[in-house]
Structure 1
Amino acid sequence: MSSSTATIPMNQEEWRAAIDALPANPEKIPAFFFSHGSPMLAMSESDARAMGSPALTEWMGPTSQLAKFLKDFGPALLKKYSPKAIVVFSAHWETQGERIVSDYGDENPLLMDYYGFQPEMYKLKFKSKGDASLSKHIVELYKEAGYLSRTTTKLEARGRDGRGFSGPGFDHGVFVPFRLMFGEEFMSTPIVEVSLDSSLKPEDNWRLGQVVSQLREESILVLSGGLLVHNLRDFNSMSPDTAKPILKEFHSAVIEAFKVSNPEGRKQALYDLVKHRGFREAAPREEHFVPLYIAAGAAEKGEVKVLNGLYGIPTVAFGV
């Protein structure tokens, strides 16, 4: 089935079928853009309802369609691809002028980069490990491509933590969805996080994906996480029940861009999304949108498969 005619999965039965239809253990593992959601995914239902609007809780809360999708998505990736490691890019780690790669050793720390939440939210667990050789390999790939690049360790803070200090670690755009995808203890597969480009330009972040494209031939899974509708000034924008028509029009334009079958035409359609009249309503600041370009750059050839087309929170496989 070509990208232009593929059915867009909109419920659990459909997305399970779409995930199951991905080719198992191909020579190149697809690169994935996934919707990482918000800390609400890790809250109790009552706390989530107390924090946000009912519509937002239904769409991004602990029992939402997104939570259900992530719980299906993670195990399927492990079963289908048996990756040697996972390399993840997050909307929540921007660096200027150089690419920084985590090298956290035998246990990856967590950076709880959210503020004013319930005490339980600062006790969340996600136990995983790094891979020093992979971290160094990624740094060398970026250096060979002409980038400044280096690793960072547990001894270097990368941001503010809601527990009252600055620290290292995986941000909530990684550990909150990964807890659902892989469980609270996930030591079987190393995870390394790489920063995105703080220019937030589509072209610059597309090139970041191109640099790591060869990892897909090394049995390494490339995941790039963000949200295609992320407007914290207007929580109503983040649910289809309350979003303005212009936002739904923008979401439809995103899905149509994914469906363009010609790689060059698809690239241009994806670039043109930032010019759409609904883009600034969806992304007042681009950091949650540009991870899409990293995933697309890592697998710009081949077919694109939308694994779920849920409003504002799709997940997409590139290079199928």
Structure 2
Amino acid sequence: MDTDPALPSLFIPHGGGPCFFMDDPQGMWTPLADYLRGLPASLARKPKAILVVSGHWETRGFSFTGGENPPLLFDYYGFPPHTYELRYDAPGDPDLAKRAAALLVDAGFAAGVDYERGWDHGVFVPLKVAFPDADIPVVEMSLDRSLDPALHIAAGRALAPLRDEGVLIVGSGMSFHNMRAYGDPRALPYSQAFDQWLTGAAAAEPAERARLFAGWADAPAGRVLHPREEHLIPLMVAAGASSAPGEHDFGGTVMGTRISGYRFG
């Protein structure tokens, strides 16, 4: 039995495309990059593996990358050529993929392992900043295409035992994701209102948190910030994996909008 402290589950903003590996003269992404770089030191122990729930992969049921050396998927467009040459050579973890899928199946979910799929930028971009040595095995988890928040909270609950086994569960998305509203000054007060609501919901006791998150679309400006919620749903998995109130772990302003990250102990 693993007697070391359980790792937290996290929800991290993963930025915009390969933003951390481009010129940033205004320092827009600097605070978020600093936060990501500080994550290893904030953990009680080095993870044995990292399970990343990405807002960029949707399947029928849940799926986990099972390759020993998954390739990178450069699923962003119109960026400088060098950003398509990035490398992140962390190993995969087929055993973790099978273990995670089995936990979900045992809890009544449809889940399986995809041995061919690579890691999208919701995985390799933030991990390349946070864990640059690429020496920790990584598995990516998909979202169920229903994007049902209650379903993903329950899935996170089923995966919670992994935290006691040394696995860091990371929801990778954005707390604000309306591509048309970035840079629009009218979006700031909407993003602040939703951010305040989201932080309060994350800090609630688990049952109340689940109720609030399930009704996220009725939160202040919910659908303004998330016309489609795939970048918010990874938060539900991270929250579901914890029975403790969440903490506001990062806050910043990007392209005139408020974004946040959360930690669940």
Tell me the TM-score normalised to structure 1 length. Answer: 0.75
Q: Match for 2:84: what amino acid?
A: Y
Paired-residue identity, %: 33
Residue matched to 2:35: 69
Could you list the per-position Cα deviations for residues 185-220 of structure 1 after superposition, in whole angstroms to 9, with x for gaps in the alignment? 412x21111111111121111112112111111111
Aligned to 2:130: 181
Q: What residue is the counterpart of 2:73 in the other structure?
A: 111
The answer as to whether partners of 1:255 and 1:309 remain within 8 angstroms in 2 is no
- 2:201 equivalent among 252, 257, 280: 257
What's 2:48 paired with? 84
Structure 2: distance between partners of 1:40 and 1:102: 21
**CA distance 1:186–1:198, change in 2 (3 Å):** same
> Is the CA contact (8 Å cut-off) linking 2:147 and 2:233 kept in structure 1?
yes
> What's the secondary structure of 1:169's corresponding residue?
coil
1:263 to 1:139, Cα distance in 2 relative to 1, 3 A: closer
Post-superposition Cα deviations, 1:278-309, rounded to whole Å, max 9, x if no partner, equal 0111111100011111111111x123222223
1:102 is aligned, of 62, 65, 69, to 65
Q: Tell me, in whole angstroms, the C-alpha distance in 2 between the residues paired with 1:265 and 1:151.
A: 32
Q: Summarize the Cα distance change of 1:178–1:94 in structure 2 as closer, same or farther, 3 Å threshold.
A: same
Distance (whole Å) between structure 2 residues aligned to residue 133 and residue 26 of structure 1: 20
Q: Give the letter aligned to residue 69 of structure 1.
A: Y
1:292 aligns with 2:235: yes
**Offset of 1:180 from its aligned partner?**
0.6
1:47-100 deviations in Å (ceiling 9; x for gaps):
x57xxxxxxx643x3xx2111111112x225x622221111100001112x221
In structure 1, the residue corresponding to 2:170 is in which secondary structure?
strand
Find the aligned partners of 2:200 and 2:80 in 1 and give their Cα distance: 39
In structure 2, give the amino acid aligned to 1:175.
F
CA distance in 1, matches of 2:27, 2:198: 22
Counterpart in the other structure of 1:283: 226
What residue in structure 1 maps to residue 190 of structure 2?
246
Separation in 2 of the partners of 1:310 and 1:195? 27
Matched AA of 2:46:
S
Partner in structure 2 of residue 126 of structure 1: 88
Partner of residue 271 from structure 1, selected from 214, 227, 240: 214
2:147 to 183, 190, 200: 200
Q: Write the distance in 2 (CA, Å) between the matches of 1:124 and 1:225.
A: 19
Q: Partners of 1:130 and 1:32 in 2: how far apart? A: 20
CA contact (8 A) 2:246 2:262 kept: yes
In structure 2, what is the equivalent of residue 32 of structure 1? 10
Q: 2: CA distance between counterparts of 1:33 and 1:293? A: 9
**Aligned-residue CA RMSD in angstroms?**
2.1
Q: How many Å apart are 1:26 and its aligned residue?
A: 5.9
Q: Which has the larger radius of gyration?
A: 1
Residues of 2 paired with 1:121 and 1:179: CA distance? 12
Structure 1 residues 7-18: aligned runs within 5 Å: none
Distance 1:26 1:281, change over 3 A: farther
What is the number of equivalent residue pairs in this alignment?
259
- Give the SS at the match of 1:66: helix
Q: Could you list the runs of 5+ residues in structure 2 that have no partner in the other structure?
A: none
Q: SS at 2:118's partner residue? A: coil
Residue type matched to 2:201 in 1?
A
